[in-house]
């Protein structure tokens, strides 16, 4: 199976188009003001309009209100929503757009129980827990904990880059990765060589896994 790749915290058209040219499956646009990677509606619309069909444009939110999301959806071509806060399943289901729910992996977090609380989510995204930050931490969590989740596809995030992505995928069994700080020079500014290196590392991992499965 081919690992899916999302590059999050995109703030510039050129970074989005570069990522897509290397083969990413999705780009993430952050609509959360305190984030150093937050974008305005105008920035987001320009980025979304620059992308071809079949590339997901993911809007990332932290405890938004309904009006905020409705306004953004009316102006930005989002194909997926990603909820990173304490949003209820009823709230997440209310916009007619598929969604991903994030769980920050504190010591007492149980991915399987959490996934069952959001049965209509397309996937569960597991990210490193930090009390004052929502994503983009550059820190990892124990990736093997992702295997606790059996009722939802799993995406992993947090401190992933070209040097550790193969280990992260092997330990987690995740079908997708979500990377932000691991391909940056500065928050919100992506590095072409780091994106390329990440994607090459993922493809090498996938080929290695395919070869292994074919010989077992």
> What are the catalytic residues?
8, 127
Which tens digits make up the pLDDT trace of 165-184? 999 999 999 999 999 999 99
What local confidence, expressed as pLDDT, does residue 156 receive? 97
What local confidence, expressed as pLDDT, does residue 28 receive? 98
What local confidence, expressed as pLDDT, does residue 138 receive? 63
φ, ψ for residue 24, nearest 5 deg: -70, 155
Report CA dihedral (177, 88, 31, 154) to the nearest 10 degrees.
0
Confidence of residue 213 (pLDDT cuts 50, 70, 90): confident
Give the total number of structural domains in the chain: 1
213 Ramachandran zone, left/alpha/beta (phi>0; psi -120 to 50):
alpha
pTM of this prediction? 0.93
Confidence of residue 214 (pLDDT cuts 50, 70, 90): confident
Instruction: Report the C-alpha gap between 17 and 134 in whole angstroms.
Output: 25
Are 183 and 189 in contact by the 8 Å Cβ rule? The answer is no
Which pairs with CB-CB distance under 8 Å and at least 24 residues apart come from 85-93?
85/61, 85/134, 87/61, 87/63, 89/117, 89/118, 89/119, 89/120, 89/121, 91/66, 92/118, 92/120, 92/121, 93/120
Which tens digits make up the pLDDT trace of 119-166? 999 999 999 987 565 555 567 999 999 999 999 999 999 999 999 999
End-to-end CA distance of the chain: 16
What local confidence, expressed as pLDDT, does residue 6 receive? 98
What local confidence, expressed as pLDDT, does residue 122 receive? 97
The residue segments making up the domain with residue 190 are 4-215
What local confidence, expressed as pLDDT, does residue 134 receive? 56
Vertex 1 angle, CA 144 and 18, to 5°: 95
CATH number at residue 110: 3.20.20.70
| β 26-30/56-61 pair status | parallel
Confidence of residue 101 (pLDDT cuts 50, 70, 90): very high
Portion of the chain with pLDDT greater than 70, in percent: 95
Q: Which two three-digit tokens encode residue 91?
A: 């709230």
Are 156 and 178 in contact by the 8 Å Cβ rule? The answer is yes
pLDDT mean over 89-109: 96
Beta bridge partners of 154: 124
What local confidence, expressed as pLDDT, does residue 212 receive? 87
Helix (H, G, I), strand (E, B) or coil at 40: coil
What local confidence, expressed as pLDDT, does residue 1 receive? 84
């Amino acid at each position: 199976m081919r690992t899916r790749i999302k590059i999050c915290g995109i703030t510039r058209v050129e970074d989005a188009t570069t990522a897509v040219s290397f083969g990413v499956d999705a780009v993430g646009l952050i609509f959360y003001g305190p984030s150093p990677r937050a974008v305005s509606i105008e920035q987001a619309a320009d980025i979304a309009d620059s992308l071809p069909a079949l590339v997901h444009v993911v809007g990332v939110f932290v405890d938004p209100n309904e009006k905020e999301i409705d306004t953004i959806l009316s102006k930005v071509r989002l194909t997926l929503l990603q909820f990173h806060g304490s949003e209820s399943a009823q709230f997440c289901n209310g916009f007619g757009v598929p969604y991903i729910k994030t769980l920050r992996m504190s010591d007492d977090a149980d991915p399987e129980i959490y996934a069952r609380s959001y049965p209509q989510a397309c996937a569960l995204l597991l990210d490193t827990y930090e009390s004052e930050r929502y994503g983009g931490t550059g820190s990892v969590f124990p990736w093997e904990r992702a295997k606790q989740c059996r009722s939802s596809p799993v995406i992993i995030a947090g401190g992933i880059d070209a040097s550790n992505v193969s280990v992260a995928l092997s330990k987690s069994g995740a079908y997708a990765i979500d990377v932000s700080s691991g391909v940056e020079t500065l928050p919100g500014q992506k590095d072409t060589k780091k994106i390329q290196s990440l994607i090459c590392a993922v493809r090498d991992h996938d080929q290695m896994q395919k070869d292994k499965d074919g010989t077992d």
